[in-house]
Each structure stands twice: as C-alpha cells, then as structure tokens.
Structure 1
Amino acid sequence: MNTNEKINQNIQNGSECISSKNILNLIERCHQSLNQYGEPYHLLLTGPTGAGKTTVIQQYLEKLENNEKVLVVDIPLPCSLRSLIETLLVLLGDPFPSKGTLEMKIRRLTHFFCYSKIELVILDDFHRLLSRNRHARFELSDFIVSLLKRTNVPFVFVGLEDTNHIIKENAMLARRVSFHVNLEPFNNEKVEVNV
C-alpha cells in the first residue's frame, strides 16, 4: 500500500494517527490537487508551540526542486485586513503595496497571483487572526474565502490549536478545508488527522 493509499485509508476512518513522515505527502497532495483533481485542497496544520509545525513546512520546502511557486506568508501582528493584503502584495513583488483603496489592492493582489503562477500558499501563524474581535476575524476569514475563490490555489493554514476556532467560525471557510492535521508536542511519530 503506497503512502497516499494509507493517508486515504486513515482519512476514511475518521480521526486516526499517521506517521509524521506522511504529513509531507499530505501537503504534497494539497499542492498537486489542482492538477490532479481539478480543484484545490486546503490543509489546516495545528499544534502547540514546539510540536514541529514549522519544521514540517521547512522540510517540505527543502524537498521541492523549485519552491519559487510556493508563497510562505507570516501573518502580520497585529493582523488587519489591510496589513494582510499589503503583506501578500509585498511578497508577490508589488512595488507599491500600500497604495490605493482596499478594492484596488485586492484587484492587484489577484493579478499578481495570476501573473506569478503561485501553486501553493502557506499561511503561517494563522492563529494571529484570533487576537482580533469577532467582527474583524470574520472580515479576515471572509477575505481568505474570497482569496481561495479568486486564486484557485491550494492553501496550508498553520497555527496553534486555537486556529481551528477561526475555521469553524466561518462556515464557508470550514467547508473548504479538506484536511486537518493536529501535531502533538514532542511526538514525531504520530499525528491526528481529521477530515
């Protein structure tokens, strides 16, 4: 049985433990989902500080021959809609990320995504959206749903265990998250996977 079959079997069984080595294959599955399945798959990777989330992301980036098509975004702190959009614009090479209205920035952001042919977006420290009030969190998560639709690119959301609340608060975002992997602290052998 190959790795993808093992992952599929574990996912079909509900909440199961898989080897941490297979997390890289699950990220790869999301990365290739648009080409292989015709739609992007999105992954929520959670766990407490020190569980290895950043290490897994670094390992994935190191194994790629060309990681220029992977956009790794550190969610700004404090995170507002404007700061998130401007951070994305900077990373995509916009020479004037703070110029224009919010709608103009969103249009430029969509253009830069298409132009740069980004294949995967990794949003690190996604839990930073929790530091905002409920209205601001919903505005940010709504924007992310819009970004998922506009770009048609797979996303990996990485954050502390509380990150799950951000996803659950917005039904449209929750529906789009294909996989949830929760890393346990100091345990490199097993992780919990939820669909």
Structure 2
Amino acid sequence: MAGGTVKYRHLSRSSAHRQALLRNLVTSLVQHESIQTTWPKAKEAQRMAEKLITLAKRNNTTSKRAAMGILYIPQLLLPKLFGELRTRYLHRAGGYTRVLRTEPRSNYDQAPSALLQFVDGPKDLRFAMTAAAVARDQRLGRASNELTQLNRAKVTRFRPDGEREFASMVERVGRLELSVPREKREKKITDMKERAAEGKAWEEEVE
C-alpha cells in the first residue's frame, strides 16, 4: 500500500504487469465512465485517470501522443477524451474522478471493493443519490438538511445546466416512487416519519 517511503501500490505485480493492468482499467473507465474493481486498484487507476484528463485539457500534439500511450484503443476513445471529457472538465481545476467504497462483489471474494467514476457524468452516483434524497424530502413535505444542500451544490457546480439536470433527475426519481403500489408507498413514508421523529426525540433527550 502506498504510504511512508512507498510512492505507489505495487499490487503484487511486476512493473510491466502493473502498468498493463492500470492502462486496461483506465481504458475501461474512459469507455464506460464507471468501473468496479478492488479498492487498491481503483486508487491507483484514479491517479492515471486524473493525469489523462490533464493531458486532454492541454490539447496539443504532445499530450495526444502521451494519451495514445495510455489508452489501449485510442482510435475509438481519443475523440471522446479530447472532445466530450475535455469540454466537461475544462473549467474544473482537479478532482475529475471519484472512488466510492462498495460491498464485496461476492461471498467468495471478500476483497475491499470500490467504484471508480468520472464526476459530473451520466453515471455520477452522488448526483443520483442526492437527487433521491431531495425527492424523498419533497415527498415528506420537509426541507432538505444541510448535508443534502451541500451535496446539491457540489454536484451541480460544474455542470453547464446543473440545476435543470438536477430538477429533471428529482422528477424522474419521484416518478419511480409513484410506480410503487400506494399501500406500500404510504407505509414506507409512515416508517420514515416515525424514524425521523424517534431520532429527533433522542436528540432532545441527549441535550
């Protein structure tokens, strides 16, 4: 593991094998915008992915050659890298990717798992989760808490049409909730209100 005098994770592989692995992960990330792998691999691939976006933002012959040395299928992915992704992150100073810890992928593989994603993209999980939280608050007729408001500001800040896209996502999540049978939906809302009331009562008791 990286730390101390070690500058990077070796991932129990030789140098050539490690580089091939990371190139493969980053190629899949550019192609699909979200990949699942182990936590150490995700953290190391994140470093290479950040470097790749920096190369795309420079947008010159040297950076294109360097990007071709990273991607396994540059003929397919260079237009996306120097087009869509470059435009998306042109005004962002850094932090183009996000690593989210997840449950192990199976009962037989208990290695620490993670999702590696591009932020502000169509598969940005935090964007969807924040929209779901706002939709829940609207359904319960209450204002969003401070953390939800902070996340909303973060996920919409660098999107060109951030608030409009966010409102659209909230509406879509709301329609999904309406597709649930009425009895089940009402029971879920009642349970959520009861848990919220219990939490408030517990806070008052502690104070």
Asked whether the two chains share a fold, i.e. TM above 0.5, the reply is no
TM-score, structure 1 normalization: 0.26
Higher relative contact order (CA 8 A, sep 6+): 1
Whose strand fraction is larger, Structure 1's or Structure 2's?
1
Whose helix fraction is larger, Structure 1's or Structure 2's?
2
Q: Which has the larger radius of gyration?
A: 2
TM-score, structure 2 normalization: 0.25
